[in-house]
């Protein structure tokens, strides 16, 4: 079955530091990959996505590249801000390969990121 593994944290960084959150996956098909972000007291919201190998997703200064050879989708940001403090979830969906009919995303356990001023 599908699975996603990510570092759980908490990860504590100083403002303007470089961020990497590792994510690796196991999937039987050709999944799409996602990063979701959850701010305190809120639901998850999509941060970025990539639908095929070597695609790079980017949004709000965050980037992640779909690496099929290493089955990875690591999240990076060059200079983090206090407002980036949140929980970050890596996820995959193989619904596109099955011809539609999303039967749910498979999520990692989430990485709690704390940015100190």
CA 5 to chain centre: 10
Q: Which stretch binds another protein (CB under 8 A): 16-24, 39-47, 53-61, 75-83?
A: 39-47
Among 47, 49, 73, 115, binds another protein (CB under 8 A): 49
Q: Is 88 in the site for another protein (CB under 8 A)?
A: no
Whole-angstrom Cα distance, residue 7 to residue 102?
26
* Token pair in block for residue 19: 């961020």
Q: What does the DSSP 8-state code read for residue 67?
A: B
List of residues contacting another protein (CB under 8 A): 8, 32, 34, 41-46, 49, 89, 93, 95-96, 100-105, 107-110
């Amino acid at each position: 079955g599908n699975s996603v593994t990510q570092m759980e944290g908490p990860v504590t960084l100083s403002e303007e530091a470089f961020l990497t959150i590792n994510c690796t996956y196991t999937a039987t098909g050709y999944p799409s990959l996602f990063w979701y972000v959850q701010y305190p007291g809120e639901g998850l919201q999509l941060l970025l996505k990539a639908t095929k190998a070597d695609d790079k997703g980017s949004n709000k200064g965050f980037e992640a590249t779909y690496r099929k050879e290493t089955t990875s989708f690591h999240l990076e940001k060059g200079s983090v801000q206090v407002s980036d403090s949140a929980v970050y979830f890596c996820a995959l969906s193989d619904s596109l390969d099955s011809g539609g009919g999303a039967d749910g995303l498979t999520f990692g356990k989430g990485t709690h990121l704390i940015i100190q001023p």
